């Protein structure tokens, strides 16, 4: 039997289709009643839409999300959900496009390979792997051809490197923080290839790190709006929508010419306050105060998370 013909029973669940012979989908399992051989475009479309919402609801959602701050969240709370992309899918779409653009076109991707650490000749000798006092002696000798100020600075930096090297050569001779700094300095100066590999790893792990911060942001929203008695899930929806806007604004800032990129970044705090006022209500002054407190606390947490991720990549790479 040809797949192009309409069968009398569903090919998937054998449900009788005689009572609904004109239906395009099986009323029992939902599979299409008329099938056709698969095409390459179908597989491409399925792969892309697995990561990015391309249906018409995406454009309706983006228009409402960007032009009416907070209204898309209110629409979700009010039960109008089928007309728009669901919050998690919208977040995954915007984050996927942003990090893909950063990985393929972002200027930051080329930074690690192009960074030139401008040090005095003495420091280059000290960082070459010669341990202990020999490093400092070689550094001072190499710096003798420089000016007195350069020689003094080079000797001081060489002494710091020698002290850091002793932390690694003699376990237990330094505190844990000094040992950690010594490891980071050694890895960042002794192996350029390893240093160049840090950025791709950071870019690859950043989406997961930001996603893990979403529940933290929602928790902060619940705390600052504790008297609203709103379920945690509603704060999480607001978090998804707001982070989606952040990704779009950062993408625009990266693609716009110089001067206009600042406009996209300056619009973020204004958008955040307006969306909070739309979703949570209340007077403008308390909303501004809550937004300021949220920015400070969440900013500190983001910096801490970014620093922790960077340290982990540097130490494990």
How does pLDDT run across 50-72, given as a tens digit for each residue?
Answer: 555 556 688 889 999 999 999 99
Q: Kindly give the residue spans of alpha helices, DSSP state H, lying in the chain.
A: 40-51, 56-67, 71-77, 87-104, 111-114, 121-126, 132-142, 148-169, 176-190, 192-224, 232-255, 260-280, 284-316
Q: Which long-range contacts (CB under 8 A, 24 or more apart) does 218-222 make?
A: 220/294, 220/297, 220/298, 221/294
What percentage of the chain carries pLDDT values higher than 90?
28
- Up-side HSE of residue 101: CA atoms within 13 Å toward CB? 15
Tokens at 119, concatenated: 């040090």
Tokens at 198, concatenated: 């840090």
What pLDDT score was predicted for residue 224?
95
Residue where the block lists tokens 């923080």: 177
Residue 16 dihedral angles phi and psi, to the nearest 5°: -70, 125
Residue 20 has pLDDT above 90, yes or no: no
More confident residue, 142 or 78: 78
| pLDDT, average across residues 129-149 | 45
- Up-side HSE of residue 291: CA atoms within 13 Å toward CB? 21
Which of 71-80, 85-94, 140-149, 237-246 shows the lowest per-residue confidence on average (mean pLDDT)? 140-149
Distance of CA 190 to the CA centre of its chain: 29
Residue length of the chain: 317
What pLDDT score was predicted for residue 14?
81
The mean pLDDT value of the chain amounts to 73
Q: Kindly give the residue spans of alpha helices, DSSP state H, lying in 52-174.
A: 56-67, 71-77, 87-104, 111-114, 121-126, 132-142, 148-169
Tokens at 227, concatenated: 């008297």
Q: What is the largest CA-CA distance in the chain?
A: 97
Q: pLDDT tens digits, residue range 209-226? A: 888 899 999 999 999 999
pTM, full prediction: 0.62
What pLDDT score was predicted for residue 66?
94
Best mean pLDDT range from 32-41, 79-88, 143-152: 79-88
- Compute CA distances 81 → 60, 61, 154, 291, whole Å: 12, 10, 64, 27
299: number of Cβ within 10 Å: 10
Residue 244 has pLDDT above 90, yes or no: yes
Q: pLDDT tens digits, residue range 254-277? A: 777 777 777 777 888 999 999 999
In sign, the C-alpha dihedral spanning 236, 237, 239, 240 is: positive
Could you tell me the end-to-end alpha-carbon distance of the chain, in angstroms, rounded to an integer?
A: 58
Beta bridge partners of 32: 25
Distance of CA 66 to the CA centre of its chain: 20
Whether the CB-CB separation of 315 and 186 falls below 8 Å is answered with: no
Residue 228 has pLDDT above 50, yes or no: yes
Q: pLDDT tens digits, residue range 273-294? A: 999 999 999 999 999 999 999 9
Which of 100-109, 126-135, 168-177 shows the lowest per-residue confidence on average (mean pLDDT)? 126-135
């Amino acid at each position: 039997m040809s797949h192009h013909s309409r069968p009398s029973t569903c090919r998937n669940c054998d449900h009788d289709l005689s009572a609904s012979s004109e239906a395009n989908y099986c009323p029992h399992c939902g599979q299409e009643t008329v099938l056709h051989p698969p095409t390459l475009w179908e597989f491409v479309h399925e792969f892309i839409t697995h990561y990015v919402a391309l249906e018409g609801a995406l454009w309706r959602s983006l228009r409402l999300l960007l032009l009416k701050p907070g209204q898309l969240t209110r629409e979700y709370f009010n039960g109008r959900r089928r007309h728009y992309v669901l919050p998690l899918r919208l977040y995954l779409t915007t984050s996927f496009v942003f990090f893909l653009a950063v990985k393929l076109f972002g200027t930051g991707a080329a930074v690690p390979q192009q960074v030139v650490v401008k040090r005095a000749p003495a420091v280059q000798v000290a960082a070459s792997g010669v341990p202990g006092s020999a490093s400092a002696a070689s550094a001072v000798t190499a710096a003798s051809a420089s000016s007195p100020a350069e020689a003094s600075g080079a000797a001081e930096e060489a002494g710091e490197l020698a002290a850091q090297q002793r932390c690694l050569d003699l376990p237990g001779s330094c505190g844990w923080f000094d040992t950690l700094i010594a490891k980071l300095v050694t890895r960042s100066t002794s192996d350029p290839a390893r240093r160049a590999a840090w950025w791709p790893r950071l870019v690859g792990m950043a989406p997961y790190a930001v996603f893990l911060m979403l529940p933290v942001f929602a928790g902060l929203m619940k705390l600052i709006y504790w008297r609203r008695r709103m379920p945690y899930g509603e704060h999480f929806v607001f978090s998804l929508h707001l982070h989606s806007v952040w990704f779009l604004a950062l993408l625009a800032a990266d693609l716009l010419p110089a001067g206009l990129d600042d406009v996209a970044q300056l619009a973020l705090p204004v958008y955040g306050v307006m969306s909070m006022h739309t979703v949570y209500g209340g007077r403008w002054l308390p909303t501004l105060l809550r937004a300021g407190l949220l920015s400070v606390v969440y900013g500190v947490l983001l910096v801490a998370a970014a620093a922790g991720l960077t340290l982990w990549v540097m130490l494990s790479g």
